[in-house]
Amino acid sequence: MSALESIRAPLGFLRTALPTVPHHDLLESEQDWWSTAALPISSAIDRAGIPWVRMFDRSGKRVDEILYPAEYYTMLRRGYRAGVIWRALEEKSLIPSYLLIYAISFYDPGICCPYTVSLGTALPLSKYGSAETQGRFLPHLLSKDDSVWQGATWMTEIEGGSDLGAGVKTIARPAGDRWLLTGDKYFASNAHAELAVAAARPEGALPGVRGLALFLVPRFRSDGSLNLSIRRLKDKIATRSVPTGEIELRESEAYLLGSADSGIYLILEVLNLSRVANSVVSVALAQRAMADALAYAECRAAFGKRILDHPLLHHQFQARLHSLRSAFALAWESVRLLDQVWTEHPPYSDRYHLFRLVAHLAKYWTAEFAIDTAKWTMEVHGGLGTLAEFGVERWLREAMILAIWEGTSHRQILDGLEVMERKQAHKLLFAHLAGSAPSHEVRELEADIQRLLTLPTDQKEVQAEPLFRRLAFFTASHLSS
Amino acid sequence: MSALESIRAPLGFLRTALPTVPHHDLLESEQDWWSTAALPISSAIDRAGIPWVRMFDRSGKRVDEILYPAEYYTMLRRGYRAGVIWRALEEKSLIPSYLLIYAISFYDPGICCPYTVSLGTALPLSKYGSAETQGRFLPHLLSKDDSVWQGATWMTEIEGGSDLGAGVKTIARPAGDRWLLTGDKYFASNAHAELAVAAARPEGALPGVRGLALFLVPRFRSDGSLNLSIRRLKDKIATRSVPTGEIELRESEAYLLGSADSGIYLILEVLNLSRVANSVVSVALAQRAMADALAYAECRAAFGKRILDHPLLHHQFQARLHSLRSAFALAWESVRLLDQVWTEHPPYSDRYHLFRLVAHLAKYWTAEFAIDTAKWTMEVHGGLGTLAEFGVERWLREAMILAIWEGTSHRQILDGLEVMERKQAHKLLFAHLAGSAPSHEVRELEADIQRLLTLPTDQKEVQAEPLFRRLAFFTASHLSS
Amino acid sequence: MSALESIRAPLGFLRTALPTVPHHDLLESEQDWWSTAALPISSAIDRAGIPWVRMFDRSGKRVDEILYPAEYYTMLRRGYRAGVIWRALEEKSLIPSYLLIYAISFYDPGICCPYTVSLGTALPLSKYGSAETQGRFLPHLLSKDDSVWQGATWMTEIEGGSDLGAGVKTIARPAGDRWLLTGDKYFASNAHAELAVAAARPEGALPGVRGLALFLVPRFRSDGSLNLSIRRLKDKIATRSVPTGEIELRESEAYLLGSADSGIYLILEVLNLSRVANSVVSVALAQRAMADALAYAECRAAFGKRILDHPLLHHQFQARLHSLRSAFALAWESVRLLDQVWTEHPPYSDRYHLFRLVAHLAKYWTAEFAIDTAKWTMEVHGGLGTLAEFGVERWLREAMILAIWEGTSHRQILDGLEVMERKQAHKLLFAHLAGSAPSHEVRELEADIQRLLTLPTDQKEVQAEPLFRRLAFFTASHLSS
Amino acid sequence: MSALESIRAPLGFLRTALPTVPHHDLLESEQDWWSTAALPISSAIDRAGIPWVRMFDRSGKRVDEILYPAEYYTMLRRGYRAGVIWRALEEKSLIPSYLLIYAISFYDPGICCPYTVSLGTALPLSKYGSAETQGRFLPHLLSKDDSVWQGATWMTEIEGGSDLGAGVKTIARPAGDRWLLTGDKYFASNAHAELAVAAARPEGALPGVRGLALFLVPRFRSDGSLNLSIRRLKDKIATRSVPTGEIELRESEAYLLGSADSGIYLILEVLNLSRVANSVVSVALAQRAMADALAYAECRAAFGKRILDHPLLHHQFQARLHSLRSAFALAWESVRLLDQVWTEHPPYSDRYHLFRLVAHLAKYWTAEFAIDTAKWTMEVHGGLGTLAEFGVERWLREAMILAIWEGTSHRQILDGLEVMERKQAHKLLFAHLAGSAPSHEVRELEADIQRLLTLPTDQKEVQAEPLFRRLAFFTASHLSS
């Protein structure tokens, strides 16, 4: 039983999964707060469904305020103050951010989305913003008190998010020292953020992804008026602590990041941040679901003993704990690699391409694991698992979203295939794992991948899935052993 | 593409999956109605969440009415009129009932629960009721017009449903020609039914399952007053077209079915009916989810072509269609076997034990398949799949319930193990499959099962899952080939 | 008690309040249907709150469909088929329409709004539409089957509805044989109607009400695409059976009614129709609330007898029935007068001005009476009156809306004052009442009004309310005596 | 305009309405907190509708917890800490409690119900509890920190609250040093309170009100288990910050207050406290609605000027401010009188009878005024007033409940009549007002009342209402002048 004890709280597990836990005291104090004060808040937000939007104030002026309960902001700001954003730039490392994301998403997987997209705003601004733009906006994002601004990442339009080259119809027109954007963003995370990064196509730019640019879009114009409209919030099945909205940009003021023809690189760098966060949150969610299952299995009896003590269930707990460790190792490897490459500019190093493959494997594998664990937790609860009253069905809803946003499994497979094909990333991975994985296994897997890559495109895609899954399992296993 | 065409509607698939489709014209006319009139009703019921209960009328009298919209009853009664109950007794066959359940649950998986529990009331009444009890109640359940009564099956109490011997605390006291029941039923399907079967323990009976008896409990006492209270409806994540409630029995009038010491057999016979229905509904749900995925994949484009025409996705459709056929074959075999044994009384034949094993395999396998397919359909829809607006997340919620009620996967495995151990049901199964399965495969599997069965109990349970899964896959594959 | 019997159903009261009831059999058959089939539908719609809007279909195309349950349309279409619109033009009389509105709004006061605004679309089209426009649209509005189109009246924008001259910012630009409208309508009744009349200002027109024109705006452009967007539905406290939305017109195709500089007259003619409907609905609602109070008072006892038989309550029932008759007489007089003048074009007759004053008095008086009665009905129910479960709080919510839309009490007083001042409408009224009102009372009231009209503007407005109320009471009393 | 300024916040108005405001600094600090921190909490609670009840914990044990958001308790406890209960006993005066209730209910009229019923528990316990009972429970109710217990007053059952003699069916059986209560309370305010007072009939007691007794019922038995069940929370139209539930008492432990045959006096003393609170809350609510109307009228323009500057509306503001002062004066007189008599035991003094009449007049008059003002505020807002988004419709819902609970208007009239008839309370009132009211008016009114009191019962009740209203208006006017 003692091994299972580690799953009851995030720090307990981190201690078993990392050689040392940086920022241990910070994490402990956060864990204390979230496990007491934040739990009922998070549940209440989930039960409440999508919040209201107040579109007009009493004078008839459009305001587009999102009416979360006041306690939502208490919870939300806690993470900002703890440093989920400011530490990344102050400590020049992403490790503290992702540690906080792990610890917090054990309690609320949705609220880590605002943190992640704020990171996805602050980091590109710090890398690609002009001095003036940085001076204007960065201090707000890095504030250590409740005046902190939030960021947001608005890429996807109604045509869909996978094929951004075709899907982004938002147009950008230059207007003096800034740009004016017009278009509709369909999945706009953190819709009430004070500052967002948004993909748009400058007038006259190339078609496809080459013609995209990345812009900063503040919530208010420089004259103080609203710079955009929130058409509505999405009625999502979960992650209700992030307000995902539809945003209407109408000649909205914007500031170019980087150059007008390099947007796709910046977009993908933003996506790297959120994809890695997705993996970290997926593992934390799986741990949480297991912790709930454990608490239940300890207090329920059938056929004369606690259900935890029934051999089949007990075995499932042990096996799943093993998988949890593998999944964490894979996710954390994507964190460690990203921490090494996130300051790179194109053209990127091999380390970056290795990171990309690991990030695809981790996104794919951890989300599948989170769903499977959430489903299992519901089954452990039997009929109670299907009731809103007991709260565990929430983990399946949350996990299902994790499997879809930042790219579905389908997309991870195909993008993983591409980075293997173009950059030989699988070879980089095998070299990276050298020492921890037996060489005959590596040779066999490498040969199978080479075979796959030489197939005609159609065949390659059709056959990619089992091999990608095998590679993910292989990598996770050897990282955690 | 032509093979995929079969999944668009239930009858299309049934035509490919059965050598002939009995009651073809009836099913066609039902399909026409449900695919037009019932679709918006079913969606509206799901969106509305749990219905209100009106507990008191204006005079202050307790009435406990469930306030579904009027159109709910239009939809519900359609199935009764089509014969989902009366045909079983009139045609002395369960085939028409399960065909209707397949066709209807493609459109609304929840509404088949009222049908199933009505079947689970009418059949035991017809087998085990006294002449007087039958005369009094059976005609109402078999009515062919809107005066039809509904049935219900109320077994589970708050202690849980797996270990009924310990979990049923409801007490029955004899009172002249009837009994009086007192206790709380926690998962009471179809809580507003006019007649229910309920498990209870006669005063002074043995502890454990041997002391259980099965009773008929009408909604109204013979003096016309309410015979029970609906404490509340459960806030389930899905199947909102069945009102599952908590029922308070307080000296509620009841009529014994069979003898006071044979209840557990009757309870398991009732469970047979619903477990088989669960398998049929699971397959229909999977087909429905696939049909939605197909419609979406046909109308969405990425990278210059319909997403249906992308090789990986196209391959997934074909592979999943193959699995759908296997799953149906397994589910339908449980229907065919049940149709042969449902009139048996204990002691049961080998055919009955064969049925039990197939029913466990089918319940387990089809529910897993339904969940996996619903999850995949959400992923095919990308971000839209996570939105309530697009309705496909519903299939995951519905499927998740199917995996839990009538016994979780865990329970199917352990009960399947028991019937193999005690009745050698796996041997009966291999004999049954002789001719369709290659004999070396059979021999290998049989040997592995024998090995498992000789292990100490703890080890046996721990190792049961992969073998049970293998047996389910094996059986499904050979039945559909 | 026999007099109270008349309030149980609308036709019963109409028989006592009108010398003969035209279309008696039609009304009886409608009453039969609404009192049985429609009652649960109407309650379910009210309980459900605002319906969903499906903004995008699965292909990503904007569709803006309002997701009422299917049964809503069953209920809604019933009135159209009965002739609430087509009879007005076929029988060249508004009497059948308002009789149907009375009878139906006893069961659902909200659903009479779609009928009224459809009338407010069909009648101006028939009076002011070009032959081509009429040929294109009118048959759809007058259809006697379920293909019937609905109308809508969209005037108000966010600046408010009283001062349309300042509040209407929607701009109309000529474009060949049609116009293109751009602007936001804030209170757009029946937002999913196939055809609406909308107020807009042609480019370059005069400021103020003189520069307004009235346009027909179809839901779909001539090329079949959506001609407008529904930004959202309003979350109103009642009348949930009318979908009131915010409409975004963006270069929306439109057809001018009448001339571009006479819009204000057409707008006011449309308002006449709905203001009179508002009075009729208010009285029907008051009757309904009383009917509910009666049913309650008959089945509840306190201090040893039915509460209906307590002297104070019994007296209140009698007094309120008397007021109901007065209120109906006043409302119906506005119907009768409108029926005489609705075909007039400007410049209008004295009869028209008399109508206007009576319509103001009726709107004011009946809405106040409806609120007061709804409040009283809640009090009769005691604590149960405050519970959603018992449904009578709905009447207060519905009544409160009736007191506000089509002009608040405030507005009726000031507009009533204006028609007295400019057109001497009070003298026309006294002449109209000659014979039924005692001449000394008339003389006294007329003198007081004359005195009021000679006051300085500020004083006149300040002192107007009690005199206006007195005039309303006087008129109602003498019309019903 | 300067007079209108006083309505913007509660303390501003109290300063104009009272010669000195006791506890001024305390009230100011409370006002500061409630006007900032509590406002969004209160709105969120109202929007959320009735909270969930968690009936079972994960072990299957009944817990009946009410799931308000965490911030609800922050808000709720604020009032207890400020001293709404403990000051009454520590300062031996009810003035601080009612001042706090006025100030707080300006921001949330519902939350003053928990405070009032806690007062209604603590005071009778301190007057009538045995030393042992007081020692056991009173310190919890008077705690100055967050460990404070709440009280509750559970009288009404489904038969209705006016005729308690017939309506209370709950039975009390003696059991050693305590009693066991069995019955259902239908309107149980503050259903999750740690301690309630409840009316019940000891076995064998007289029928009617003479046979009632008042008991203390703790939430938990002395063995720590739940002492009662919350069947459900009521879905009320307002006051959502008080959880009103249906309570099932089943052999619930209870402690007698006073003697077993004096319950009706104790019940009425409890009712005195809440009836006076109701008047105070009604006036605060009216002030709040006016403050909202003022804010709106200042920021909206029509016909070229702020709507506040239109003569009719401006006049209405002034007139209503005058009425507000009268209503407050009447309500506060009931506070002052209660403060003088609340420690009396039966038989009561003339002062007590005077209090009763004033309390009836105040309850009646202030609730009517609150409704009328809330309705007017909605009208001032025009269409926006009917939208949930703008929040002013809430005041009508809240006011409507104030007019019903603690006795409808009907009941105030009849009970007022009784105290005039039996105790000549009108004469006591006229003596009390001597000096402030002109003697000829007094004489005329007194004569009319005497005439009324000599009528036969039926006639007396029928004619009571206008005279009662006149007496209320007369009293309010002369108290405020």
Tell me which residues of chain C have a pLDDT lower than 50: 1
Give the list of residues 6+ apart from residue C184 with CB closer than 8 angstroms, or none: C157, C158, C169, C170, C231, C246, C247, C248, C249
Whole-angstrom distance, CA of residue C115 vs CA of residue C109:
11
The answer to whether D359 and D279 are in contact (CB under 8 A) is: yes
**pLDDT digits 0-9 by tens, D288-339:** 999 999 999 999 999 999 999 999 999 999 999 999 999 999 999 999 999 9
Q: Which pLDDT score, from 0 to 100, does residue A1 have?
A: 47
Select the residue of A55, A69, A384 nearest D69 (Cβ to Cβ): A69
- Residue whose token pair is 């809604």: C76
With a cut of 70, say whether residue B224 has pLDDT above it. yes
With a cut of 60, say whether residue B190 has pLDDT above it. yes
Instruction: Please state, rounded to an integer, the average pLDDT across all residues of chain B.
Output: 96
Query: In angstroms, what CA-CA distances link D100 with D95, D107, D112?
Result: 9, 11, 9
**pLDDT digits 0-9 by tens, B431-477:** 999 988 899 999 999 999 999 999 999 999 999 999 999 999 999 99
Give the list of residues 6+ apart from residue C251 with CB closer than 8 angstroms, or none: C180, C181, C182
CB-hemisphere CA count at 13 Å for A52?
22
Contact (CB<8Å) C383/D235: no
Q: Tell me which residue of B241, B308, B278 sits closest to B400, measured CA to CA.
A: B278
- Residue whose token pair is 């990608």: A468
- Residue whose token pair is 């009261």: C13
User: What is the helix (H) or strand (E) element at residue B3, kind and residue range?
Assistant: helix B2-5
Looking only at the bridges linking them, the beta strands covering D171-175 and C171-175 are unpaired
Tell me which residues of chain A have a pLDDT lower than 50: 1
With a cut of 90, say whether residue B323 has pLDDT above it. yes
Residues of B in contact with D160 (CB under 8 A): 60
Q: Tell me which residue of D409, D329, D443 sits closest to D162, measured CA to CA.
A: D409
The answer to whether D361 and D471 are in contact (CB under 8 A) is: yes
Q: Which pLDDT score, from 0 to 100, does residue B423 have?
A: 97
Whole-angstrom distance, CA of residue A406 vs CA of residue A429:
22
Size of interface A-D (CB pairs under 8 A): 60
Token couple for A83: 């440093």
**pLDDT digits 0-9 by tens, B452-461:** 999 999 999 9
Select the residue of B41, B67, B381 nearest C69 (Cβ to Cβ): B41
With a cut of 60, say whether residue D1 has pLDDT above it. no
- The 10 Å CB-count burial string (b at 16+, else e) for B130-155 is eeebeebbbebbbeeeeebbbbbbbb
Query: In angstroms, what CA-CA distances link A198 with A117, A130, A184, A193?
Result: 11, 16, 11, 12
Mutation for testing the A interface, residue in C50, C53, C54, C55 having most A CBs under 10 Å: C55
- Residue whose token pair is 């997309």: A411
C234 at A interface, C-beta within 8 A: no
Instruction: Please state, rounded to an integer, the average pLDDT across all residues of chain A.
Output: 96
The answer to whether B300 and B307 are in contact (CB under 8 A) is: yes
Contact (CB<8Å) B70/C390: no
Could you say which DSSP state residue A353 is in?
A: H
Percent of chain B with pLDDT over 70: 100
Select the residue of A187, A312, A379 nearest B403 (Cβ to Cβ): A379
Looking only at the bridges linking them, the beta strands covering A171-175 and A195-202 are parallel
**pLDDT digits 0-9 by tens, C375-432:** 999 999 999 999 999 999 999 999 999 999 999 999 999 999 999 999 999 999 999 9
**Residue B92: left (phi > 0), alpha (psi -120 to 50), or beta?**
left
Whole-angstrom distance, CA of residue A446 vs CA of residue A448:
5
Q: Tell me which residue of A306, A293, A320 sits closest to A385, measured CA to CA.
A: A293
Cis upstream peptide for D207 (omega within 30°) = no
- The 10 Å CB-count burial string (b at 16+, else e) for C188-206 is bbbbbbbbbbbbbbbeebe
Q: Compute and round to an integer the Cα radius of gyration of chain C.
A: 22
On the 0-12 / 13-18 / 19+ scale of CB atoms within 10 A, C435 is exposed
**pLDDT digits 0-9 by tens, D155-201:** 999 988 889 999 999 999 999 999 999 999 999 999 999 999 999 99
Q: Which pLDDT score, from 0 to 100, does residue A162 have?
A: 86
Size of interface C-D (CB pairs under 8 A): 140
Contact (CB<8Å) A60/C158: yes
Tell me which chains share at least 3 CB pairs under 8 Å with chain D: A, B, C
Q: Which pLDDT score, from 0 to 100, does residue B161 have?
A: 80
Which alpha helices (H) appear in B142-262, and where do they start and end? 164-167
Mutation for testing the B interface, residue in C35, C43, C71 having most B CBs under 10 Å: C71
Give the list of residues 6+ apart from residue A16 with CB closer than 8 angstroms, or none: A6, A325
Whole-angstrom distance, CA of residue A296 vs CA of residue D57:
10
Which pTM does this prediction carry? 0.96
With a cut of 60, say whether residue B175 has pLDDT above it. yes
Query: In angstroms, what CA-CA distances link C214 with C155, C263, C329, D397?
Result: 9, 5, 33, 38
User: What is the helix (H) or strand (E) element at residue B391, kind and residue range?
Assistant: none
Q: Please name the residues between 450 and 479 in chain C that touch chain D, using a CB distance below 8 Å.
A: 457-459, 461-462, 464-465
The amino acid at residue D32 is D
Query: In angstroms, what CA-CA distances link C155 with A342, C191, C407?
Result: 55, 12, 12
Whole-angstrom distance, CA of residue C374 vs CA of residue C290:
8
CB-hemisphere CA count at 13 Å for A27?
24
The confidence band for B1, taking pLDDT boundaries of 50, 70 and 90, is: very low
Whole-angstrom distance, CA of residue C306 vs CA of residue C311:
11
With a cut of 90, say whether residue B351 has pLDDT above it. yes
Query: In angstroms, what CA-CA distances link A174 with A178, A209, A224, A253?
Result: 6, 19, 20, 10
The answer to whether B71 and C69 are in contact (CB under 8 A) is: yes
CA D315 from centroid of its chain's CA atoms: 31
Tell me which chains share at least 3 CB pairs under 8 Å with chain B: A, C, D
Give the nearest chain D residue to A50 (CA atoms): D48
Contact (CB<8Å) A56/D300: no
**pLDDT digits 0-9 by tens, A359-368:** 999 999 999 9
CB atoms within 10 A of CB C107: 25
- The 10 Å CB-count burial string (b at 16+, else e) for D45-66 is bbbbebbbbebbebebeeebeb
Q: Which pLDDT score, from 0 to 100, does residue D418 have?
A: 97
Token couple for B184: 């709380």
Does the predicted interface ipTM exceed a cut of 0.90?
A: yes
**pLDDT digits 0-9 by tens, C420-471:** 999 999 999 999 999 888 999 999 999 999 999 999 999 999 999 999 999 9
Backbone angles phi, psi at A181, to 5 degrees: -105, 140
The amino acid at residue A169 is K
Q: Which pLDDT score, from 0 to 100, does residue D160 have?
A: 83
Q: Which pLDDT score, from 0 to 100, does residue B297 have?
A: 97
Q: Which pLDDT score, from 0 to 100, does residue B435 have?
A: 86
Backbone angles phi, psi at B225, to 5 degrees: -80, 165
Query: In angstroms, what CA-CA distances link C201 with A452, C228, C463?
Result: 66, 17, 35
Token couple for A236: 């999502």
With a cut of 70, say whether residue B408 has pLDDT above it. yes
Q: Please name the residues between 181 and 200 in chain C that touch chain A, using a CB distance below 8 Å.
A: none
- The 10 Å CB-count burial string (b at 16+, else e) for A52-83 is bbebbebebeeebebbbbbbbebbbebbbebb
CB-hemisphere CA count at 13 Å for D266?
32
Three-state DSSP at B251 gives: strand
Residues of D in contact with A392 (CB under 8 A): none
Cross-strand partners of C403: none
With a cut of 50, say whether residue B479 has pLDDT above it. yes
Q: How far apart are the first and last CA of chain D?
A: 20
**pLDDT digits 0-9 by tens, B94-130:** 999 999 999 999 999 999 999 999 999 999 999 999 9
Give the nearest chain A residue to C60 (CA atoms): A158
Three-state DSSP at A392 gives: coil
Q: Tell me which residue of D296, D278, D287, D285 sits closest to D320, measured CA to CA.
A: D287
Three-state DSSP string of C204-247:
CCCCCHHHCEEEEEECECCCCCECCEEEEECCECCCCCCCCEEE
Which alpha helices (H) appear in C6-54, and where do they start and end? 10-17, 24-33, 39-48
Percent of chain B with pLDDT over 90: 97
The answer to whether D302 and C160 are in contact (CB under 8 A) is: yes
**Average pLDDT score over residue span D247-253:** 98
Query: In angstroms, what CA-CA distances link C337 with B213, C171, C331, C357?
Result: 74, 35, 10, 11
On the 0-12 / 13-18 / 19+ scale of CB atoms within 10 A, B1 is exposed
Contact (CB<8Å) A58/D389: no
